[in-house]
Structure 1
Amino acid sequence: MKAHYEVLDGLRGTAAIAVIIFHIFELTTPDWAHNPFPHGYLAVDFFYALSGFVLGYAYDERLRRGGNGAGALSFWGFAKRRLIRLHPMVPVAVTLGLICYLNDPNVGTTQQIGVGLSLGSLLLAYVLTLFLLPSPTLPNHWDETHCLNAPTWTLFWEYIANVVYALWLCRIGRGLHRVLLALGAVALIVAAVLLAQKQAFGWGWGYETLWVAPVRLTYPFLAGLFVYRMGWKIRLPMPYLTASLILLAVLAAPALKGLANTLLEAGMIILVFPLILMVGASIRAETGKLGPLCRFTGELSYPVYILHYPFIFLFGHWVWNTHPGKLAQHGAAVGVFAFVLLLATALLYGYDKPVRKWLGRRYAG
């Protein structure tokens, strides 16, 4: 097994923490422009860029051999490894979403079975989300395609990218890759124009803007894969800290109005995120005092991301229903943040890593 790019893993952790902060403030501030991370949703696009790089590094050579020869890997071998890596946390996250949904004390009767909610629709949403498939929207969850655990919408598209990569992208040449990148960039710019009235790229999670999701996936995934294949690197001091600060500065940049903001965000995805990848790819492991933090945040990133949103909804409904003072609101926000980190840590070491290790020995040896 190849060694990880630990700095890139750590950057995934930086982005995941920014997502939690963004979502907490998303439910308590008037609009995205007042959020500490007004572009925080672009962490999703950065995740896709990371995924493209990491998949290319881990599987390009093995998949190109088509299952023949030492170290070769078939499509099904690849699929098993990706499922083992990503899916064990899904039933936990979706079940937590179900529990939080049924026990939210601040939504009246709208989420009670037999009153504002049918058992059939709830079970259907639960089963479909276990397989990361879009489901009918439930009460109080707007237009979400994955309403029992909203972040799983990104994982649904991640799985699609994995399939396309293993069946086709792993074998394309640089010329075609450049053409696809150009088309992906054009699609992002067109989307920026079409989303000007919404003033942001933070869509794709609902049925109304479902078309945005594949647009947000395509370019960054291809760009991450291309950065790996070209071997591009930018060497800066303390790359984990430096790249993290650049990423956070991008997500915290002031929001503009209308088309200016969507074009700005398209530019961030097209130009800045690949540059951050190049910084993160400049070394395999972060040394010194930042090394343990880099490795820990990298490991924690996925559990944090997939577990946090049901608790964000509980927090948001409490704020909207009880109108707490600023001190109580901020204290609760810190509590939610800390709880999610502790829960993710406990499940990472007590469930996710042991289960993945067992599954890997049994099915991916």
Structure 2
Amino acid sequence: MAREELRALTGIRGIAAVAVVLYHVGEAVEQRFGIPAPAPFRHGYIAVDLFFVLSGFIIAYNYMNLFSGGFDLRSYATFIGKRVARLYPLYLVLTLVYFVKNAIRGPGAAGSAASAGDWAANLTMTHSWGFDAPRFLGVSWSISTEFLVYFLFPAMALALARSRLAAPLLAVLAVASIAMVALSGAGINGPLDVVREGSPLPAVRCFGGFVLGVLAHRFRPKRAGRAALRADIALFVAGITAIVLVEEGLDAAAVCLFPLVVALLADGGRLGDTLFAGRPVHRLGEWSYAVYLAHFLCINPALGLAGRIAGSRANVLEVSAIVLTLVPVVALSALLHRRIEVPGRRLFLLVLPPMPTARHPSPTAGAGES
């Protein structure tokens, strides 16, 4: 039986995808025109860490009970198959699109001189597991690392069900992972902005956020009706505090607040639903995977047009670049979601055996498929 969708979590995923787009637009404007990106745009990379926390929470919500009573190969294979069905169709199409785009640009572009090993790593989504393989699709490092932690999730679920020590141990590992990345000195525009090829740090970054999301589900607060206002106040304070921490360069501390934000949003409070569960934002959340993967296709054409419109007027150029990127990105993402992502997922799921029934029914309501 499919779990009830937590619309606020879908919605905030859409906002996070837009934050990543704005981050990359700001970078591109600065590189091409020498205009510094607005301060909020420079920290948009942290939205990827929010993706990891959201993913851990929703995967735990949907599948924790499947593995908490024991492990069997069929359940494991079906779980991984469902994750491949979710990620791979759109990933494959856009990886090939970006490869062709880069090949047209000529030598030096990512993947333009790819070896058989590079192709194998990219086509199997393993290229950011610490291998020194170029990414054909630049932002796909996060897809690859998330695919890696999916293989670890059943063991996490089983450990959390069988040992009281598992939760504190995983919490320590998660915080240590995030601290390791933040202290590595490899960040581009912030301590956690670590995406380097050939390094295990991007996978460590993903692991930390994902585990925090799993733990947020494990210890999700249960709000009674009279506590609704307190939950909304806690959500507001936690969200504002996380934003301030990011602005101050305290990425690791901000990410450690994300699980609380996600758990409170999942609780269905009025504030979260008002901000993120409405139809436009929810729809954007449904398209968020396509927004994330496809947005680089629109940035350079948008910047060229913005430059012709704005001339030397910096403010006009920035606004034009944002609008001329976001409008086609959203339109293209809606099309990709409807024509490739959804039908591709259905096609993959046709060959999978039915998901086995969870051994212990969950007492809580859940979110839709991540």
Does the 8 A contact of 2:23 with 2:41 survive in 1? yes
Q: Paired residue for 2:135, among 144, 147, 156?
A: 147
Measured after TM superposition, the shift of residue 129 of structure 1 is 2.1
Pair 287,19 (structure 1): closer, same or farther in 2 beyond 3 Å: closer
Q: How many residues align?
A: 337
Cα distance in structure 1, aligned partners of 2:15 and 2:57: 17
**Which residues of 2 match residues 244-283 of structure 1 at below 5 A?**
250=242, 255-256=247-248, 261=249, 264-270=250-256, 272-283=257-268
Does the 8 A contact of 2:303 with 2:321 survive in 1? no
**Deviations 1:139-170, CA, capped at 9 Å, x for gaps:** xxxxx95532111100111011100112x111
Pair 297,128 (structure 1): closer, same or farther in 2 beyond 3 Å: same
Pair 338,180 (structure 1): closer, same or farther in 2 beyond 3 Å: same
What amino acid sits opposite 2:253 in the alignment? G
**Matched residue, 2:127:** 134
**Matched residue, 2:48:** 44
Does the 8 A contact of 1:12 with 1:47 survive in 2? yes
> Which TM-score applies when normalising by structure 2?
0.76
Pair 122,243 (structure 1): closer, same or farther in 2 beyond 3 Å: farther
Cα distance in structure 2, aligned partners of 1:304 and 1:227: 26
**Which residues of 2 match residues 58-207 of structure 1 at below 5 A?**
58-66=62-70, 74-103=75-104, 111-112=105-106, 120-121=113-114, 125=118, 128-134=121-127, 146-166=134-154, 168-172=155-159, 173-195=163-185, 200-207=190-197
**Deviations 1:76-115, CA, capped at 9 Å, x for gaps:** 0111111111111111211221243244xxxxxxx326x9
Name which of structure 1's ranges 342-351 and 26-35 shifts more when overlaid on structure 2.
26-35
> Which TM-score applies when normalising by structure 1?
0.77
Name which of structure 1's ranges 347-356 and 117-126 shifts more when overlaid on structure 2.
117-126
Q: CA RMSD in A?
A: 4.0
**Matched residue, 1:108:** none
Cα distance in structure 1, aligned partners of 2:44 and 2:83: 26
Does the 8 A contact of 1:188 with 1:215 survive in 2? yes
**Matched residue, 1:213:** 202
Structure 1 spans left out of the alignment, 5+ residues:
104-110, 136-143
What amino acid sits opposite 2:95 in the alignment? V
Structure 2 spans left out of the alignment, 5+ residues:
355-370
**Matched residue, 1:53:** 57
**Matched residue, 2:336:** 347
